């Protein structure tokens, strides 16, 4: 009888321990799932496009805009106009000179063609551009 009671008690301990383990695994997996969903949500928010001009999150597809081969997505046409007036303000990285192709355009040395501002590394490049902007813009697009 003592052996039967001992076996029964041991069996119950094993069953309750296993049940506790299964519950903690399920809880752990649920918590992991919740964390993953939160991480996924954060990733979606972090990857959401932000207009470089207005700094607002872009809803929908936004306005696709290209400046010297670099693609931008802006929230509206108004921001595209602001971008055209002063691209250097909204760009990260070097300013490309469309005449010589160098990445060291100077914010102070610039010219406007068709409402879009372009930057140059020196006055000589600026003067060449001003004589025939279409020639240099077309050549730049071919590169």
What's this model's pTM, rounded to 2 decimal places?
A: 0.58
In a domain, 12, yes or no: yes
pLDDT digits (tens, 9 = 90+) for 82-120: 999 999 898 877 788 999 988 888 899 999 999 999 999
Q: Which are the contacts of 120, defined by CB distance < 8 A and separation ≥ 6?
A: 97, 98, 99, 105, 106, 109, 110, 111, 126, 129
Instruction: Take residue 80 and report the two structure tokens written for it.
Output: 């595209």
In a domain, 10, yes or no: yes
In a domain, 98, yes or no: yes
In a domain, 115, yes or no: yes
What pLDDT sits at residue 39? 37
**Are the C-beta atoms of 137 and 97 separated by less than 8 Å?**
no
Q: Using DSSP, state whether 55 is helix, strand or coil.
A: coil
The reply to whether 4 and 25 lie within a common domain is yes
DSSP alpha helices (H): ranges in the chain?
2-47, 77-85, 87-90, 123-131, 133-142
pLDDT digits (tens, 9 = 90+) for 123-142: 999 999 999 999 999 988 88
């Amino acid at each position: 009888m003592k052996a039967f009671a001992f076996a029964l008690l041991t069996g119950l301990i094993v069953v309750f321990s296993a049940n506790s383990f299964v519950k903690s695994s399920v809880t752990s997996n649920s918590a992991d799932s919740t964390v993953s969903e939160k991480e996924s949500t954060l990733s979606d928010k972090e990857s959401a496009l932000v207009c470089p001009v207005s700094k607002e999150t872009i809803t929908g597809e936004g306005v696709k805009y290209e400046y010297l081969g670099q693609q931008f997505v802006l929230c509206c046409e108004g921001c595209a106009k602001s971008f055209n007036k002063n691209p250097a303000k909204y760009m990260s990285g070097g300013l490309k000179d469309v005449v010589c192709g160098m990445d060291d355009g100077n914010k102070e040395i610039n010219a406007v063609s068709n409402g879009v501002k372009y930057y140059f590394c020196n006055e000589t490049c600026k003067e060449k551009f001003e004589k025939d902007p279409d020639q240099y813009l077309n050549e730049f697009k071919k590169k």
